[in-house]
A and B are shown apart, each in its own frame.
Chain A
Amino acid sequence: MAIRSTRWLAVAASLSLVVAACAGAASPAPQSEAPGTSAAPSPAPVASPEGPPTYATWEEVLAAASGTTVNWFMWGGSDVINENVDNDIGKPLKEQFNVTLNRVPINDTADAVNQVLNESAAGVKTGGSIDLIWINGENFRTLKEANLLYGPWAEDLPNAIYVPWGDGAIDFDFGTPVEGYESPWGHAQFVFEYDSAVVSEPPTTFEALQEWIHANPGQFTYPAIPDFIGSVFVRHLFYWAAGGPEPFLGAFDQAVFDQYAPKVWDYLNDIEPDLWREGTTYPQGPAMSDLLANKEVAFNMAYAPGNASLQISQGVYPESIRTFVMESGTLSNNNYVAIPFNAANPAGAMVLANLILSPELQLAMADPDRWGWEIPTDPATWPADAQQQLASFKRGVATLSAEELAAAALPEPRAEWVTKMEAGWIENVLEK
């Protein structure tokens, strides 16, 4: 256990009970104060030979972090994110906490997973090379189940008071209980992007989309699985087939899968001949932006409601691109950061994860002119002036309102469902 908070077990137990009892229903965050402040004073950090150091109080974490470097492995494909992370996170981290950020740009989260896995295989139990990973739900599950994560720590961060812990949307990452092994840093929601110069009235039901595709052959496609976005599109169809996300939130059930899957495959095989390239192939995810920008297709999809506005301001998209979500709702989840079990500098990583959750930084992330992200914290818990500032932001030109998005949010299925859906698509749509 990373932070020996005396109340931790009780908190975890009550949390899981609450969550089990009313999945999804908001409950008051159990923490009424920063946990570190109430913990009994205890000796200096212990660097055990079996694992990374642990800390008793937040002050100890701060002291241990001061003067260190945090190696943060994160996807490095976006110049905007790279710049924002360096400027908005790296600089205050150095100035306020004397912690240096080493942002390591990677191509795929799997690269970071491999690093941790190989170090584990080589017996590196402490002093590992990764302190923090920007991680997705499936890889979180992989590392957590393999006992390759440090923690729990996330709910003990002082700024965890701004996070709606206890809400199912935060407590579960693709159905995997978070249990304090990762801390949120952004909120994401799936939206369709379309060219309003081509499509005047976007189809907001899957039936309408199907009709549109048949009426406009060649103008729609979705990325090939295992692309993340392609996988989301297929999940979205499963929700449509089942009339909602509920059947897929629990443990995998083959009978339930078999009940809904044929409807999804029928839908996808029905539209296939009228897809881009007559469905003979499906594009790689990143190629989709070019297809939309060049009017090869009229739609794209993004797991970031602000993406379209950003791409317009970056000169990638024409100015006519807009977004919409399905009437029946849309998938949403949170971006998290996790600390590997053998991190050399878990203290620095926690300081960083805590900084991200501060209202000041969350404001920067919500600012459409800076990050243009959705945020995982609850603004209602912020100081009044920060709330006012948030309210004063104008949304990006192609970004839906926060209210509209919040109303449409649906949880992600559990990770094992995702695996089956992806394999099913390959078997029944791609290779049929």
Chain B
Amino acid sequence: MTHIGVVAIVLSVGLPLLALVIWSFAFRWTFPDLLPSEWGGSAWTYTFGPNSRVVEGLWNSLVIGLVVTALAIAVGLPAGRALGLSDFRGKTLVEWLLLMPIIVPPIVATMGIHITFIRLGLAGTYLGVSLVHLIPTIPYFVLIMASVFSNYGVELEETARTLGANRRQVFLRVMLPAIMPGIVVASMFTFLISWSQYVTTLLIGSGRIITLPLVLFPVISGGNQANAAAISLVFVAPAIIVLILSSRKLSQDSAIMGGFGRL
């Protein structure tokens, strides 16, 4: 049973990615050839050449992803604590409100959001793009942190306070270490959601800010499989590094995701 499961996991995860790797080096590869009849590195030359804008997009995506993550922590941490530690009237309503960006198809809100951002002078700025990415990440960040806090022993804080710790010390020495694994996981989701945003980045970035999805998505529809595969892999690679960095937290600190939101 275990072996079947392991084989199923490895094959189903690995094969689509392997297909991308082989295709990224293919020059001419048609049915029924098992392997490309001609190999080439032109897709990779293009990907890292100046005209694909991949390197620029990579850099922008990285910076914006980090800013979004920082913003999400600042905004989402208190909300997660409130939802996880307290019961109050309207809690269910708050949870549903936070789910709105997932439930409502994005096209309903994009024009309105764009207009708001233009009026606020945020269009075409890094801050604007980061803020617009923040919207879809909030549900994930807050709901994950809510579940983390619902398993958090808040008594420790009281103990620390009776022992003379001030607020700052309680925050830094008691709460932060306890919820750190949860923050890492929630941050990973936040970063990855920001990493994949296309429509909002194009609109709010107004063409001044080129991120990786802006470069990748047109290429996927462009019909050149080798280029699409190569850029897809560039797109996935840093995301997998983020996963490696956070995977220990993801499955090790068991109770982090335990009550995930408890919607």
B52 engages A106 (CB within 8 Å)? no
A107 engages B218 (CB within 8 Å)? yes
Say which one of B65-73, B89-97, B205-213, B235-243 lies at the interface with A: B205-213
B219 engages A77 (CB within 8 Å)? yes
Partner of A86, one of B51, B114, B198, B206: B51
B207 engages A77 (CB within 8 Å)? no
The closest CB in chain A to the CB of B47 belongs to A79
* A39 CB–B CB distance under 8 Å: no
A113 to B46, CA, bound (A): 28
* B148 CB–A CB distance under 8 Å: no
A79 engages B227 (CB within 8 Å)? yes
Partner of A122, one of B27, B110, B115, B202: B115
* B59 CB–A CB distance under 8 Å: no
B218 engages A129 (CB within 8 Å)? no
The closest CB in chain A to the CB of B45 belongs to A79
A115 engages B221 (CB within 8 Å)? no
Tell me which of A76, A79, A121, A294 has the highest count of chain B C-beta atoms within 10 A of its own C-beta: A79
A82 engages B52 (CB within 8 Å)? yes
Q: State the Cβ distance, B223 to closest chain A Cβ, in Å.
A: 4
Say which one of B118-126, B173-181, B189-197 lies at the interface with A: B118-126
* B53 CB–A CB distance under 8 Å: yes
B115 engages A121 (CB within 8 Å)? yes
Q: State the Cβ distance, A423 to closest chain B Cβ, in Å.
A: 21
A294 to B29, CA, bound (A): 9
A315 engages B111 (CB within 8 Å)? no
A76 contacts across to B, CB distance below 8 A: 214-215, 218-219, 222
B221 contacts across to A, CB distance below 8 A: 77, 107, 286
A79 to B52, CA, bound (A): 7
A293 to B28, CA, bound (A): 9
* A64 CB–B CB distance under 8 Å: no
A208 contacts across to B, CB distance below 8 A: none
B227 engages A106 (CB within 8 Å)? no
* A406 CB–B CB distance under 8 Å: no
Interface residues in A, total, Cβ within 8 A: 40
B203 engages A83 (CB within 8 Å)? no
Interface residues in B, total, Cβ within 8 A: 44
* A114 CB–B CB distance under 8 Å: yes
A106 engages B51 (CB within 8 Å)? no
A295 to B30, CA, bound (A): 8
B203 engages A79 (CB within 8 Å)? no
A105 engages B51 (CB within 8 Å)? no
B220 contacts across to A, CB distance below 8 A: 77
* A419 CB–B CB distance under 8 Å: no
A318 to B210, CA, bound (A): 34
A115 contacts across to B, CB distance below 8 A: 202-203, 206-207
Q: State the Cβ distance, B204 to closest chain A Cβ, in Å.
A: 10
A111 contacts across to B, CB distance below 8 A: 199, 202
Partner of B207, one of A73, A121, A293: A73
A118 engages B38 (CB within 8 Å)? no
B223 engages A118 (CB within 8 Å)? no
A71 engages B208 (CB within 8 Å)? yes
The closest CB in chain A to the CB of B124 belongs to A129
The 4 closest A-B pairs by CB, nearest first: A77-B222, A129-B206, A104-B207, A76-B218
Query: Which residues does B use to contact A, with CB under 8 Å?
Result: 26-31, 38, 40, 42, 46, 49-53, 110-111, 114-115, 118-119, 123-124, 198-199, 202-203, 206-208, 210, 214-215, 217-227
Extra contacts besides A105-B218, A130-B207 (5): CB < 8 Å = A71-B208, A105-B215, A107-B221, A315-B26, A315-B226
Instruction: Pull 12 A–B residue pairs with CB atoms less than 8 Å apart, ordered by A.
Output: A79-B224, A79-B227, A82-B52, A106-B202, A111-B202, A115-B207, A121-B111, A122-B115, A123-B119, A129-B206, A129-B207, A294-B30
